[in-house]
Structure 1
Amino acid sequence: MNTLLSIEKRNAVLSRMAELLEQERANLKSINQQDMSNYSGDDLAMEKRLLVDDAKVDAMILSMQQLASQEDPVGVERFHFVHDNGLKITNKTAAFGTIMIIYESRPDVTVEAGGIAFKSGNKILLKGGKESLLSNLKIVSLWHQALEENNISKDWVEYLNYDRIQTQAFLENPTQRVDLIVPRGGEQLIAFTKKHATCPVIVSGRGNNFVYINKEADLQKAMDIIINGKTTNIGVCNALDKVLIDSKLPNWEDFAAKLVAELQKYKVEILGDERFSKATNLPQIESDLIWYEEFLNYKIVVGIVDSNEEAVAKINKYCGGHSASIITTNDAVAQEFMEQVDCAAVYQNASTRFTDGGQFGLGGELAISTDKLHQRGPIGLQHLVTNKWYIYGEGQIR
């Protein structure tokens, strides 16, 4: 087990990492271009996540700078109790130890998720996807440089260049201690990790998010929110996949027609339930199973519901437990909806695209957890800790 690095050392490494990313910007982009040209897949979302451009480098640098300036999440007192017998009992946050991050295609995870785990006092094991190997190895070499320049062992950040079989073997029988695993990627990656891991796994990243247009909705806001949620970035877990419209919305058919026209400008494939497709002459869904799907593509399903209760029941049955938004001017209706919907993030009159650690003021995120233990929604620095009890006595016995 690595002894905890002082907060000064951790911050120095993060600050140095920000400088190195700036220095090596051109190199990193050209190495990433090799990954891009080696990628022969036809997955648009994957390709978008693989690219490292100036905007991505800027975001990586900013995340390092923000992390370096944040409070130490380790050693924060959470509870204090003095026993009748004089024992002083304190509970404080503590580092997990070693965190393994398994991810696909996103070189920025090598920086940002690695940085969050490192700042929270952990040793990092990175297992990236083969499609981003060259970019990842370049970034890991910068981590190693930042560590060595601060007289810290390179072992604090380790890249596991494993194929699927080697990864499975490591998960089932780790050759070193691993305290927590965070898979970042699609459902197959998450299922694979959960199936084979022998230590706790934080499940992250499945979306299938819903927007519900209540009968008292501001329809311009509804339109803007749907277009934003569906079209700005199809490859992310906070994108929008499903829309429910209250049948009591006055002239809902008019709104449906306008929505279709707007979505078609962005070449979004639109499917509807029976009532929506009758009203719009669009294809009807073949089965209700599609309500469970996360698309990660220019595709959306729209349905009609007869009450707020029906909307809540439908969302709770089919959504991924990530994000849901109600569009309504009635705050009481919104509050009830938000309390009843079983998602990590619930919204009134705003886009689900905000479910993100940076947007929520966490200064970045390691993952967005759709599990209920130990933390739900965006997992920032302050959540990537376990805890520990400190008991100070003077010879007390029980």
Structure 2
Amino acid sequence: MSIAALKPMTVEEQAITAKKAQKALNMLTTDEKNQGLRIAANELENEYQVILDANKEDLEKGREKGFDEAYMDRLALTQERIADFAEGLRQVADLPDPTGDVLSDWTLENGLKVEEVRVPLGVIGMIYEARPNVTADAAGLALKSGNAILLKGGSSALSSNQKIVEVMHRALEKTKIPKEAVQFIASTDRAATQKLFTMKEHIDVLIPRGGASLIKAVVENATVPVLETGVGNCHIYFDKEADTEKALNILINAKTDRPAVCNAAETLIVHKDWLHGNKEVLADTIKKNGITIHGDKEAADTLPNVIPANEEDWANEYLSLDLAIKTVNSLDEAIDHIDQYGTKHSEAIITENAESAKRFMHLVDAAALYHNASTRFTDGRALGFGAEIGISTQKLHARGPMGLPALTTIKYMMTGNGQVR
């Protein structure tokens, strides 16, 4: 084999290849796509050890670079986590295929038949950071919805991501799905990422998934349309009529289940009356669960071991067992705080007052609102979407966890019999 034949494709060549593959993918039946996803899921489970070996390399490099605990948690894979994203592919295969759905149809007076049909976006560029599970989730959702995808993961998970794509490619070779529809950009050169931002002729949409700096860089520099996912400065508000046991169980789940994810709670807003009526049990719960509190003056005067909060704490996505506490005198004051510091991701109210819950749900501007439930449910898998490609905090095209329908657009198809205008 010649040296030229071994030369890896440029990012533009990968995009062109993906675009060609997408046309072939778009002609497959739902059954053919589903079969391909199930075979890929089986292959990922069967080859879990080679993926874990690659992940071990990434984890060792991460420790050498001094990555914090939250980052290492997002980076780490286990056999259970691999089985989990493999199961996600099966769940996506079981979901209805949105492509080809006729959303509406009518016939004009001249006999011209009009159909509004759901179709794939085309070629998706996906830019993401530490989580290797995103590689499988994003690829599965793209393929089921008829889209090709260019994956650009962070350099910290390079070995893991490469191995996951290699395993999926081997699986897809046994199916009708063209493996070229899943492209992984292995280059760590910033120029490769910058190129991805600007290939409007080959890429239909960019989806960034990661921290605030990544998302900001994509939004500010891309000429390709962006489906923006947001960071999660999520709040839980304990109304003065919150049930104590219910409130504390929800808070502990939202804060401690997986602190490093975007739907974890970062700020507890608490009504002053509830705080003073429940200060002992709240303090005990916080201590038992190893939570560090950054609180306002009221919280610091009421609870033990509170670090005085500053302006940065109200906006901080800690991704750790740190929690900000803001004390308020009313529901409207809580809503005002969320309006100022929230990231339009997920917000919850805990109350037994139906009118207070209704006011909160209608007035708070966020992609996901909860009454008496944990913010941890803002997740494609938890809401029945199978996997998710990200959680959109914008308002155009898609909002909230983005499953299969969010990866489609519409096309008008007209059928006539010689009509002219």
Q: Does the 8 Å CA contact 2:265/2:375 hold for their aligned counterparts?
A: yes
For 2:396, what is the secondary structure of its paired residue?
coil
Aligned with residue 384 of structure 1, among 397, 402, 407: 407
**Greater CA drift, 4-13 or 170-179:** 170-179
- Give the whole-Å Cα distance in 2 for the aligned partners of 1:295 and 1:181: 26
Q: What whole-Å deviation, never above 9, does each CA across 1:59-105 have from its counterpart, x for those lacking one?
A: 12211111222222211111222223322211111111111111112
Gap regions ≥5 residues in structure 2? 1-18
Change (3 A) 1:265 1:365: same
Q: Deviations over 1:214-264 (max 9, x none)?
A: 111101111111111111111100000111112243xx3242342232112
- How far the C-alpha of 1:205 sits from its partner, in A, is 3.9
C-alpha contact 2:294 2:313 (8 A) present in aligned 1: no
Q: Could you say which residue in structure 2 is the equivalent of 1:356?
A: 379
SS for the counterpart of 1:190 is helix
RMSD after superposition: 1.8
Match of 1:290 among 291, 313, 330: 313
1:139 corresponds to 2:164: yes
Compared CA separation, residues 140 and 176, structure 1 to 2 (3 A): farther
Q: Distance in 2 between matches of 1:96 and 1:267?
A: 45
- 8 Å contact from structure 2 (residues 152, 193) kept in 1: no
| 1:370 counterpart residue number | 393
2:336 maps to what in 1?
Answer: 313
Return closer, same or farther for 1:384/1:152 CA change in 2, 3 Å cut-off.
closer
Contact 1:244–1:305, Cα closer than 8 Å, also in 2: yes
Q: 1:20 to 1:65 in 2, by over 3 A?
A: same
CA contact (8 A) 1:168 1:196 kept: no
One of 218, 226, 236 as aligned partner of 1:193: 218
Assess, with a 3 A threshold, how the Cα gap between structure 1 residues 323 and 172 changes in structure 2: closer, same or farther. Answer: closer
User: What secondary structure is seen at the aligned counterpart in 2 of 1:138?
Assistant: helix
The 8 Å contact of residues 21 and 142 in structure 1, kept in 2 or not, is answered as yes
Return the alpha-carbon distance in structure 2 between the equivalents of residues 126 and 238 of structure 1. Answer: 23
The reply to whether residue 77 of structure 1 matches residue 92 of structure 2 is: no
Three-state SS of the structure 2 residue aligned to 1:72 is coil
Distance 1:161 1:175, change over 3 A: farther
Q: How many Å apart are 1:281 and its aligned residue?
A: 4.9
- What code does the residue aligned with 2:55 have? N
Q: Structure 1 residues 169-178 or 377-386, which shifts more?
A: 169-178
Q: Which residue of 2 aligns with 1:182?
A: 207
Q: Any conservation in 2 of the 1:271–1:282 contact (CA below 8 Å)?
A: no
Select which of 192, 206, 226 maps to 1:167: 192
Worse-matched range after superposition: 328-337 or 175-184: 175-184
Gap change, CA 1:360 and 1:235, over 3 Å in 2: same
The reply on whether 1:52 has 2:77 as its aligned counterpart is yes
| One-letter code aligned to 1:65 | R
CA separation of 1:50 and 1:206: change in aligned 2, threshold 3 A: same
2:41 corresponds, among 11, 18, 27, to 18
> Could you say which residue in structure 2 is the equivalent of 1:330?
353
The separation in 2 between residues aligned to 1:151 and 1:396, in whole angstroms, is 38
Q: CA deviation at 1:396?
A: 2.8
Cα contact 1:274–1:284 (8 A) shared by 2: no
Instruction: Give the counterpart of 1:32 among 55, 61, 73.
Output: 55
- How far apart, CA to CA, are the structure 2 residues paired with 1:320 and 1:69? 32
Q: Which moved more, 1:257-266 or 1:177-186?
A: 257-266
Aligned equivalent of 1:234, options 250, 259, 264: 259
> Which of 273, 281, 296 is the matching residue for 1:273?
296
CA shift for structure 1 position 42:
2.7
Q: 1:299 to 1:61 in 2, by over 3 A?
A: same
User: Partners of 1:28 and 1:171 in 2: how far apart?
Assistant: 26
TM-score normalised by length of structure 1: 0.94
Deviation at 1:151, TM superposition (A): 5.3
Tell me, yes or no, if the aligned pair for 1:239 and 1:352 is still in contact at 8 Å: yes
Q: CA 1:173/1:339 → structure 2, altered by over 3 Å: closer, same or farther? A: closer
**Secondary structure of the residue that 2:253 maps to in structure 1?**
helix
Identity %: 37
SS for the counterpart of 2:149 is strand
Q: TM-score, normalised by structure 2?
A: 0.90
Report the secondary structure of 1:183's partner residue.
strand
Distance 1:23 1:361 in 2: 25
**Which of the residues 188, 193, 206 maps onto 2:231?**
206
- Segments of 5+ residues of structure 1 without an aligned counterpart are none
